[in-house]
Structure formats: C-alpha cells, structure tokens
Chain A
Amino acid sequence: MSPVTVIVGTSIGGVRTAQGLRAAGYDGEVLLVGEETALPYDKPPLSKGLLAGTSSIEDLTLLTERAAREAGIRLLLGRAATGLDIGTNTVTLADGERLRYDDVVIATGARARPSPWGEPRGVHVVRTLGDAQRLAVDLRRGGPLVVVGAGFIGAEVAATARGLGAADVTMVDPAPVPLSRVLDPEVARWFAGLHAGHGVTTRFGVGVEGIDRARDGLVVRLADGARLPAATVVVGIGAVPQDGWLRSSGLRIDDGVVCDRYSRAVGTEHVHAVGDVARWPHPRAGELVRAEHWTNAVEQAACVAHNITRPRQPRAHAPVEYVWSDQYDHTIQLTGRTGGRLGHLTVPGPDPDRSFAVLYADAEGTFTGAVTVNWPRALVACRQAVGTEAPAAEVRDRVTAARPRTTTGARP
C-alpha cells in the first residue's frame, strides 16, 4: 500500500508542502484538507490588492482544481479537521470521516485575534478571504474608518483605504509608535510620519476602551476620553495559532505546536507542523519561536516536504527572517532581528528622501538584522548577511558599495 500524507490547512504552508512533496519525488498519496470552501488562496494581498480591487480572487488562488489534479494532490475543501489521534494515525473531520496517514502535516495557521470590544456590525478583522471581501464592501460605502492596531495589517489597511479615497482614516494604538514590536522608537516615528503625511490621523499611545453602536454607525471610545465616530472599524491586534483542534491529541501545545528543529511535533516522528501554527527552536534565537510570515511558511514547507520524503536525512529549519509590507507607494522590508534594545545605524539610499536602510546590531556591534524602505537591493545584502556574524559596519559598507547603476526600465 502506498504511503499517505495528510496535510491539514490549505493556506500557503499546506499548499507548498503538498507541492514540495511532489517536487521531492514523494510517490504516496497527498491529501490537502481545509475548513474553507474556497480554493486555496494567498493571504498577503487580502489587506492590499484584494481590498483595493486591483487583485481578483483568481489572482490570489494558490492551487486550482486542475493544478491539484495534475500534481496528484487530493483536495478536500470545506472539511474542518476536529481531531488528531497519533496512536491510530488518524485525522478526524467534522463530518466524522477519519483519514489514516503515514505522515500528517499541521498547517492550520493562525486566526485573527478577535476584537475584545465585541463585534457589532461594521467591526472587522482581516485574516480570511471572507473577512477581506466584507471589509471591501464596507470601505466602499464610505464614512470614517478607525483602524485599531498599528502593526502590519492595520498599517496596510489604513494605507489601502486612503488609496481608495477614504477621507477620514484614524489609526489608534496603545504603543507610542507604530510597529513597536519590530522597530526601535526612532525608526518607528518615521513610520508614524508616513501615515500622517498620507492624511491618516494617528492616535498613538492611547488604548481603546470600547466600541459602541451609535444611531448612525459606531463610536470608538479611547482611554483619554476621546470618542471617534466610525462607519467602519478594523481591529488588527495580532493573531492566535489555530491549535484548538489538537487539544486532545497529546501533542505539546503551547502558543502553537511545539516542534523539534526538524519541524516535527516534539516526541513524534511523523507529525510535522508548518507556518504560523508551528513553534520550533530557532538556532539563532536560542529559544522556541513562532513566525507569522509568508516566506517562513514557504521555507518550512520545503523543509517538511524534504523530511517526509527523506526521513533518514532530515533537514533542520533555520530560516533568515524576512517580512515585507506595502504601504502607500512604499516597500518596507525587514530581515533578521530588529528593534527592541538593539543599536542601529541608518544608511541613506539612492533617493535619500524616499529610500533608506536601518541596520541593527547587538552590544558587540554584530549585525542582527535590518529594515529597508524602498531599497530592495539593500535588503538583499542585509538578508544575505544575517547569521554570518558580520560586524554591522561591514554590512553597511556592503550595502553602500559602489556599483554601476542598473535598471530594467520596468519602473518609470
């Protein structure tokens, strides 16, 4: 009997694991199971192109039925997994069906942290296609928009709404600056200025007390007593791993599925985890980490596909962190460890008004990571330097190294 791999979760991590198994020459059955009925789709455009109306659902589709058939991937959509039994090697679905596996991949991702202020009509989170479609409808109705949370999702939604012509957009965050988890205050203030410069009212350093229904919409109450009228509110305050269905599995669950360095659930050989739901010991972090990033999911999927196909030569998952965000006409890219108590130095880019890189270093001056704005070339140099123990000053020289200017002419 040929082996069976059951992959639970149809977002980027699950899809790429399925494709990776075939690319690695896996000749068993591959089942891709997910609770959503939509064809597998990509999530980054949900807060950008899909919301703006410049990307269609087809543009977001990661795997068509035909592509799945051709790759020998069996798609089971609209079928939520409700349990995992690692004793009998079965995944139980909501409709009672049990799927036997030789290897199982947990790729159920994370869900938006729900609004702690209730969810009256007009209050949104952005995580799924349905979320983004509902928000797009409300944004087109117009009226004031209040974005709660100045992380990537909140910032992208605010930027997209301004691009759609929303006149009254307010961003609220209890932290004194946006992106406070990944940037130091000085650089974060530049991002606060980016929003303000694009006509967004920013209310940083003040929390939300509640969201009330009013006669003609919503009112967001702030801790300082301010009351912000809103037609639409977007709550972007993070995500929580979707690990509830594994509660009785016996796996170690602690803010995600706790894995070994090969992305296998600790204590198991045939239970793997990929993407936002996986927590594993990152060699450079020296602790368990969970990454909610597209590129991490893609790289972890390739690693798990390899480990399922070649279990005797398993590969450890030791990625270089990489995140991007598109806000207004700015491309923001982060790699490695940034922000917090790390020291930093700023390097002006080719267009100093628009582009720069901020390099972060530990107390010894060793480069740890960078954030770049409108300067992908610098990002590449920094990303290649993460983990090499290079001094930050040396990375700065690499970033600024003179080279003949090249362009494809593809950007006006």
Chain B
Amino acid sequence: MAVVKADLALCQGYANCVVAADDVFDIDDDGVVLVLRGEVPESERPRIVDAARTCPVSALEVADS
C-alpha cells in the first residue's frame, strides 16, 4: 500500500488534485484538501502520484507505508 499525505497548512484550494483523482481527494467548504483514502494499493500508485504532482504548492505526498 502507498500512503497519501496532505499538508493542510500548505494547501491553497487550487483543487488540481480533485480533478485528477476525485476518488482520493476532495476539498472542504473552506477550500482545504480532504484525503478520502489515506492508503491506496500499489496498482493505483502511479495515478495518485501523478495527481499529487499537479499540486501547485506541493502539499501532497505519496509515501511508502
């Protein structure tokens, strides 16, 4: 499994991650990222890494569990 982490203080609500992977990321009413699934199977890692990389402020990280 890969672990999905978000730095809520860095997040600016640009929402690129939600558009790239709305099964893993959402955004709250204050415009802060919500991680819907904190762990994703290895098979999904490339797609979620791509989604994390669309963050303009590098607030997202996909790490090894």
Contacts and interface: CB of A to CB of B under 8 A. Distances in A.
Interface of A: 16, 19, 23, 42, 44, 294-295, 298-299, 302, 320, 322, 324, 326, 331, 333, 350, 374-377, 379-380, 383-384, 405-408, 410-411
Nearest to A326: B12
A44 B29 CA distance: 24
A376 B16 contact: no
Contacts of A333: 14-15
B44 interface: no
A408 B32 contact: yes
A376 B56 contact: no
Contact of A377 (B29, B50, B53): B29
For chain B, the bracket of interface size reads 20 to 34
Nearest to B11: A410
Interface in B1-58: 8-9, 11-16, 18-19, 22, 26-34, 46, 49-50, 53-54, 56
Contacts of A19: 53
B32 A377 contact: no
A408 B10 CA distance: 13
Contacts of B49: 23
A408 B18 contact: no
A411 B30 CA distance: 7
A408 B8 contact: yes
Given A331-B31, A407-B30, 8 more contacts: A324-B56, A326-B12, A376-B31, A383-B19, A405-B29, A406-B28, A407-B32, A410-B8
Interface of B: 8-9, 11-16, 18-19, 22, 26-34, 46, 49-50, 53-54, 56
Contacts of A411: 30-32
Q: Most chain-B Cβ atoms within 10 A of its Cβ — which of A42, A302, A377?
A: A377
A363 B9 CA distance: 42
Nearest to A383: B19
A376 B16 CA distance: 10
A320 B13 CA distance: 17
A123 B29 CA distance: 41
Main SS class of interface, B: loop
Contacts of B26: 406
21 contacts: A16-B53, A23-B46, A23-B49, A294-B56, A295-B16, A295-B54, A298-B54, A374-B31, A375-B31, A376-B15, A377-B27, A377-B28, A377-B29, A380-B22, A380-B27, A383-B15, A407-B28, A408-B30, A410-B8, A410-B28, A410-B32
**8 tightest A-B CB contacts, nearest first:** A410-B8, A376-B13, A376-B31, A411-B30, A410-B32, A407-B28, A408-B32, A406-B28
Given A408-B32, A410-B32, A411-B32, A384 B27 contact: no
Contacts of B54: 295, 298-299
B4 to A, nearest CB: 14
Given A23-B50, A302-B50, A406 B15 contact: no
B31 A384 contact: no
A379 B30 contact: no
Contacts of A299: 54
A384 B19 contact: yes
Nearest to B17: A380
Contacts of B11: 410
Contacts of A324: 12, 14, 56
Contacts of A320: 19
Contacts of A384: 19, 22
B12 A331 contact: yes
A331 B13 contact: yes
A376 B13 CA distance: 6
A404 to B, nearest CB: 10
A322 B17 CA distance: 13
A350 B12 contact: no
A23 B50 CA distance: 9
A44 B16 CA distance: 15
Most buried by A among B13, B16, B27: B13
